[in-house]
Amino acid sequence: MLLLVGLGNPGSQYAGNRHNIGFMALDAIHRRYTFGPWKRAFQGEAAEGKFAPGGDKVLLLKPLTYMNESGRAVGEAARFYKIGPESIVVFHDELDIVAGRLKAKTGGGHAGHNGLRSIDAHMGANFRRVRLGIGHPGDKAAVTRHVLGDFSKADQAWLEPLLDAVADAAPLLAAGDEAGFQNRVALLTAPPKPAKQPPAKSSGV
Half-sphere exposure for 168 (CA within 13 Å, toward CB): 15
Given a contact cutoff of 8 angstroms between Cβ atoms, the answer to whether 53 and 72 are in contact is: no
**19: annotated active-site residue:** yes
Cα(181)–Cα(183) distance, integer angstroms: 5
Distance (Å, rounded) from C-alpha 7 to C-alpha 118?
Answer: 11
User: Considering 19, 30, 92, 113, which one is annotated as catalytic?
Assistant: 19
| H, E, C per residue of 142-177 | HHHHHHCCECCCCCHHHHHHHHHHHHHHHHHHHCCC
Q: Write out the catalytic residue numbers.
A: 19
